[in-house]
Amino acid sequence: MTVRTRWLVPALLASTAALAAQGQATAYLGARILPGGGPPIENGVLVVAGGKIVAVGGQGTAVPAGAATVDCAGRTITPGLIDASFRGGAALADLNEQGEEVTPHLRALDCLDPDDPAFARALAAGVTTVHVMPGTRNVIGGLGCVVKTAGAEPAARVLKDAASLRIVMGAEPSMGNRAIRGGRVDSIYYRRPTTRMGVVWEVRKAFHDARQALEQSVGAAPSPPSPGREVLARVLRGELTAYTTARSEQDIRTALRIAAEFGYQTVIDEAQDAYVVADELAAAKVTVLLGAPSAPQVAGPGSADGAEPRYATARLLAERGIPFVITTGSNFAALDLVREAMFAARNGMSVAQALDAVTIAPARLLGIDGRTGSLAPGKDADFVVWSHDPLDPAAVAESVHIDGNPVPASR
């Protein structure tokens, strides 16, 4: 594509912003549409109005009279990508409350900065929705939220303020904790856990206390109010999904064991050793978040967690029918989300599966598939116009639309 035509589409798209704001229909014509969760549509038509998708289909799809049209011949349109584990949006220190190890009621939403540069980087990779969880330094970190990566009003960007409860296995939550060795005797870091055993003890104790409070609540004197315990009770009642970060084989097994012990639903996050425990994951019917499939090293304190990532893990999970979602996760070595999907496809899974793993699959997992995750009438008009097929290494997100509005690329 020449430079001239490459910039033509964004220019046309920018001029449609005002129309979108007025609720007037805009039709994107001639693109190859990958709607998410369905077969590709060649020479497709996408009609949006009032921030919502009005119609999506093949060449014969009716375009409302008076609709503005944008020629997208040669382009590919996909739903806005969804990163189900996104590191960014807030200062890391603010996502990790070190005052206690178990802080189930703390909300990641409270420290999100809508102007964080990570949102702009995600947008450039075609990501329109992210799930931000508290950090990985606590055993039970708190509540994750789902937000869009851009929007006129910060409050309107929030899709879910409490979408998940983050639990972390492995060595990372015990980092920094210590026994008194001549330092400050009043240090808050003089505490459990300092080992994997201690991490598991903290999780088990928290859920044990929450379950006991639930069982006692009928007829017994009410326990003193505890917002943390109320969150855990929601997990135990199946109203909230736990996202357990477990990278190595032993941590994944532990995460599954604890979830089974207390009977709560969990997602296994950053499961880099998932290929080793595929049978257990399949049996437990859990969804797996693959944090940065391209990363050759483990996130967090790599040597301590001892996982050995394999590039073919995504393919293996796909073959075994284990539901999974591709994310960037907490790994500093992560590429952007579309490149991670490309990498997964490069290592043996189908292109359609790789795209679903960053669109409709995370939407269903997070319970936002009624709003986004695929291109279907009635859903939010969150979509990306790509210069090439999005899994092509040369693909560029020429324009990213959220609620029908093109997001300025200069952000």
Partner 1 sequence: MKRSPTWAVLAPVCAAAALCCRPAAAQDLLLQARRIVIAADTVLDDGRVLVRQGKVAYVGADVPAESRARRLDYGDATIVPGFVLAHATLGQERDLAERALPFTPDLRAAEAFDPWHKELLPLPRHGITAAALSPAPTNVAGGIAALVKTGRDRGVLGADLHLMLSLAAPARDPERPPTSLMGAVDLLRRAFDATQKGQATGPDAAVLRQALQGTRAVFVHADTFAELNAALDLGRDFGLRLVLVSARDAGKVLPRLAQQQAAVVLDTLQPEARLAQLQLPTRLAEAGVPFCFAGRPELLRRSAALAVRHGLDRRTALMALTRVPAALLDQTGSLGALRQGCAADFAVFTGDPLDLDSAHVATWVDGALVAGREPARTAAPAAATAAGVR
Q: For binding to partner 1 (CB under 8 A), which residues are involved?
A: 90-91, 93-100, 103, 105-108, 110-115, 134, 142, 153-154, 184, 187-188, 225, 227
User: CA 266, CA 251: separation in Å to the nearest integer?
Assistant: 13
CB of 105 to partner 1, least distance (A): 7
Please give, one letter per residue, the 3-state secondary structure of the chain: CCHHHHHHHHHHHHHCHHHHHCCCCEEEEEEEECCCCCCCEEEEEEEEECCEEEEEECCCCCCCCCCEEEECCCCEEEECEEECCECCCCCHHHHCCCCCCECCCCEHHHHCCCCCHHHHHHHHCCEEEEEECCCCCCCEEEEEEEEECCCCCHHHHEEEEEEEEEEECCCHHHCCCCCCCCCCCCCCCCCCCCCHHHHHHHHHHHHHHHHHHHHHCCCCCCCCCCHHHHHHHHHHCCCCCEEEECCCHHHHHHHHHHHHHHCCCEEEECCCCCCCCHHHHHHHCCCEEEECCCCCCCCCCHHHHCCCCCCCHHHHHHHHCCCEEEECECCCCCCCHHHHHHHHHHCCCCHHHHHHCCCHHHHHHHCCCCCCCCCCCCCECCEEEECCCCCCCCCCEEEEEECCEECCCCC
CB of 244 to partner 1, least distance (A): 19
Comparing CB distances to partner 1, the nearer of 161 and 308 is 161
By C-alpha distance, which of 264, 195, 226, 245 is closest to 104? 226
Q: Tell me the backbone φ, ψ of residue 362, rounded to 5 degrees.
A: -65, -30
Q: Cα-atom radius of gyration of the chain, to the nearest Å?
A: 22
By the 10 Å C-beta count (0-12 exposed, 13-18 middle, 19+ buried), 69 is classed as middle
CB of 75 to partner 1, least distance (A): 34
Comparing CB distances to partner 1, the nearer of 180 and 283 is 180
Comparing CB distances to partner 1, the nearer of 14 and 152 is 152
CB of 271 to partner 1, least distance (A): 25
Comparing CB distances to partner 1, the nearer of 58 and 176 is 176
Comparing CB distances to partner 1, the nearer of 61 and 96 is 96
CB of 154 to partner 1, least distance (A): 7
Comparing CB distances to partner 1, the nearer of 100 and 280 is 100
By C-alpha distance, which of 112, 107, 120 is closest to 149? 120
User: CA 315, CA 310: separation in Å to the nearest integer?
Assistant: 10
